[in-house]
Amino acid sequence: MIGNVLRYIRKKNNLKQEEISKIVGVARNTVSQYETETIQPTFEIIEKIANECGYKIYFESDDGKERFQSNDLNRKDI
C-alpha cells in the first residue's frame, strides 16, 4: 500500500524517481523498489518524500479524538 501512496504523491507533483532519490539520498532503483513494494522504506524516508511533495503524515485515533504528527511529539512525551 505505501508504494502506491508514494508513487501517487510523486506523480501528483510531477517528480521523477531520480528527483526523489536525490532528495532522500538513495538510488533511483531504490525509489522504484519502494513504489513496487519490493523493499519497504523507513518511516523517515516516507516522511521526507511526503514533506517534499507537500503532504503531512497524521496519526488519528479510531474514535477521532486524538490527531497528531510525529514531529508534534517530544521525547519526554513518549
Which residues have a Cβ under 8 Å from the Cβ of 69 and sit 6 or more positions away? 56, 57, 58, 59
Please give the grid coordinates belonging to residue 40: 519497504
From the list 7, 9, 4, the residue with the least C-alpha distance to 52 is: 9
- Tell me what the pLDDT averaged over the chain comes to: 91
- Mean pLDDT, residues 37-59: 93
Please give the grid coordinates belonging to residue 8: 501517487
Binned at pLDDT 50, 70 and 90, residue 76 comes out as low
**Structural domain count of the chain:** 1
- Mean pLDDT, residues 59-73: 87
* Domain boundaries, position 24: 2-77
Classify 59 as helix, strand or coil: strand
Q: What is the CATH number of the domain that holds 41?
A: 1.10.260.40
Taking the complete model, does pTM exceed 0.85, yes or no? no
